[in-house]
Amino acid sequence: MSDKLSTLGLGFDTQAAPEKRKNESIADWLGRQIVSGVYASGDPIPKEMDFLAETGISRGAYREALRRLAGKGMLVTRTRSGTRVTPREQWSLLDPDVVRWSFESGAPPDWYIRALYEMRAMIEPPAAAFAAERRSEADMQLFRDALHAMRYCDMTEDSWHNADASFHRAILISSHNPVLLSLEAGICAAVAYTTAFRYRDMPNPHTRNPVEEHAAVFERIEARDPVGARKLMTELVDTALLDSKGTTVFDLGLPTLKV
Amino acid sequence: MSDKLSTLGLGFDTQAAPEKRKNESIADWLGRQIVSGVYASGDPIPKEMDFLAETGISRGAYREALRRLAGKGMLVTRTRSGTRVTPREQWSLLDPDVVRWSFESGAPPDWYIRALYEMRAMIEPPAAAFAAERRSEADMQLFRDALHAMRYCDMTEDSWHNADASFHRAILISSHNPVLLSLEAGICAAVAYTTAFRYRDMPNPHTRNPVEEHAAVFERIEARDPVGARKLMTELVDTALLDSKGTTVFDLGLPTLKV
DNA sequence: GTGCTCAATTTGTCGGACATATTCCAAGTC
DNA sequence: GACTTGGAATATGTCCGACAAATTGAGCAC
């Protein structure tokens, strides 16, 4: 895959809080440090006394931040030995914070983007099918709002990404499967990255209107047609990584994903 | 779905640590309390001073435990207002701890089991296809070890579940997609529950030999045949919820899942 | 009833002290 | 010399007490 993908700006709304609490902002800062590779797998992070001396932060606040990250499987602490970063495979790679840190740090690793995209390609088509079967009227309103936002957004990155994320979140909500909904952060990150890549120099003759593609999925869900919804969502996913010239950006092994 | 599913004993190895650290064991205890429904969504959990008075635990250890759970999205704290349980949809439902707590508590909600199973059904077939394309020699040894353990296990629940989980973990590892691997806890829990249900009164004429079914998938992966691996894994997943009489335990909406 | 002030309460942070576990080194033993 | 043993050094784990900050809610003025 081109390394372009990992340097492309993202900028979708990550609802970053003002961060009033210290232990929270320390966890946030340290999380970014770790995610961005400052501390590699197995590396020790600053000793409590060192950190305390350098920053003036109290030991308690620092320790609470460490526990936050430990809960995500990012750290292991051993008495006397220190606190070390766990191998990335053991993290909660779909944890909203981990996703946010990774993408806000500017350059998430290519393997991570690709892995999220593959996961999205597995999840969204059947999720759309479930949505077609289980959707409520309230769910449909979510789709209408998202499509409205897509149609009338000012086409800046942020407003588009927010509308796009709302649509895909609506898919997950309508599937009425809370586990799928917990994948939202990872799926929306993959969606934002790939659609940013796909549509960034629209219009061109090789990609259809993104709004209409989404509307088509919506229409099948509204019609309670799971097979159709799945098919259209599969097309949306499969074609997402064609660039502006219609060539494949990276090969997802389509024979294994196409239905 | 029958509520039998949620009362069926599980007993697969959850590698629960001895838990020497207090903040860890408090987090564990509190996590189970929340997961098992003692504190419902929006409910306040014990105030720090109350908990301190009742248990004799220091405030710091309790707070570190709270941070651990807050990192999983299970709690929100507000000054003066107290600490409350977040709506379950906002948790990391695939976090290894959440999965472990839910299934060790004996009676995970039916919707959770079903949601995990649906997720598994979406992930494992394409994951097997990726495994067929990307497997290394070291990966194949994982499969051989798992199959060996399945063949010669003493058919107690634990040994079977461990061997079964090893096989499915090998699928995820061989897919060489770390994000899929991070779903391991949820997938293995679903696998253990469903296979426990499926095979618990083997042998019967309606289910094939479980070892041979797994071996068939292994054989397609070894042959680097993604289409075949996906097909066999789909069959393994689709049939997993037939009971001993061959009737469907609950309808997964197969038209939307079948390829 | 509305809006304001102020006190009570609960979490957030800080500092210091000691407990516990592990590493490391040095002395002792075979 | 290689190994074992024991103690010192050190980093994390826990506890305690105090104060800061923020929100709630009651009481008051209008």
Beta bridge partners of A77: A83
Claim to verify: residue A143 and residue A237 sit in the same structural domain: yes
Claim to verify: residue A168 and residue A134 sit in the same structural domain: yes
Q: Both tokens of residue A145?
A: 């709002």
Q: Which whole number is the average pLDDT over B16-27? A: 83
What is the reported pLDDT for A173? 97
In a domain, residue A97? The reply is no
In a domain, residue B150? The reply is yes
> Total domain count for chain A?
2
Extract the runs of DSSP E, i.e. beta strands, from A51-159.
Answer: 75-78, 82-85
Do B133 and A27 lie within an 8 Å CB cutoff?
A: no
Question: Are B121 and B237 spatial neighbours (Cβ–Cβ below 8 Å)?
Answer: yes
Residues 6+ apart with CB under 8 A from B48: B59, B62, B63
Claim to verify: residue B83 and residue B162 sit in the same structural domain: no
Claim to verify: residue B82 and residue B138 sit in the same structural domain: no
What is the reported pLDDT for A200? 52
CA-nearest residue to B27 within chain A is: A71
Nucleotide in closest CA–C1' contact with A59: C14
Claim to verify: residue B115 and residue B82 sit in the same structural domain: no
CATH number at residue B143: 1.20.120.530
Q: How many CB atoms lie within 10 A of CB A103?
A: 25
List the domain range (segments joined by +) for residue A58.
13-90
Claim to verify: residue A172 and residue A56 sit in the same structural domain: no
**Residue B81 predicted with pLDDT over 80:** yes
> For chain A (length 259 residues), average pLDDT per consecutive 10?
41 56 95 93 95 95 97 96 93 96 87 90 93 96 96 80 94 96 96 68 56 94 94 80 44 33
What is the reported pLDDT for B189? 93
pLDDT tens readout for residues B228-243:
999 899 888 876 554 4
| C-alpha distances in Å from residue B249, one per residue of A227, B107, B123, B242 | 22, 18, 21, 6
| Cα dihedral across residues A207, A211, A212, A213: positive or negative | positive
Claim to verify: residue B67 and residue B116 sit in the same structural domain: no
Nearest C-alpha neighbor of B224 from the set A255, A234, A111? A255
Q: What is the CA radius of gyration of chain A?
A: 20
Residue A155 phi/psi, 5-degree rounding, is: 65, 10
What is the reported pLDDT for B6? 39
What is the reported pLDDT for B8? 42
Q: ipTM of the assembly?
A: 0.86
In a domain, residue A133? The reply is yes
H helices of B78-136, in order, are 96-104, 110-134
Claim to verify: residue A197 and residue A240 sit in the same structural domain: yes
Claim to verify: residue A81 and residue A147 sit in the same structural domain: no
In a domain, residue A222? The reply is yes
CA-nearest residue to B60 within chain A is: A60
Q: Indicate the DSSP class of residue B76.
A: E
CATH number at residue B53: 1.10.10.10
Contacts of B178 in chain A (CB under 8 A): 88-89, 93, 111-112, 115
Claim to verify: residue A127 and residue A222 sit in the same structural domain: yes
pLDDT tens readout for residues B39-71:
999 999 999 999 999 999 999 999 999 999 999
Claim to verify: residue B125 and residue B196 sit in the same structural domain: yes
- Residue at which a domain ends, from A90, A125, A157: A90
Question: Are A249 and A5 spatial neighbours (Cβ–Cβ below 8 Å)?
Answer: yes
In a domain, residue B251? The reply is yes
A259 closest CB neighbour out of B127, B178, B259: B259
In a domain, residue B104? The reply is no
| A88 at interface of B, judged by CB pairs closer than 8 A | yes
Do A89 and B129 lie within an 8 Å CB cutoff?
A: no
SS3 B147: helix
In a domain, residue B95? The reply is no
Burial class of residue B253 (count of CB atoms within 10 Å of its CB; 0-12, 13-18, 19+): middle
Claim to verify: residue B68 and residue B146 sit in the same structural domain: no
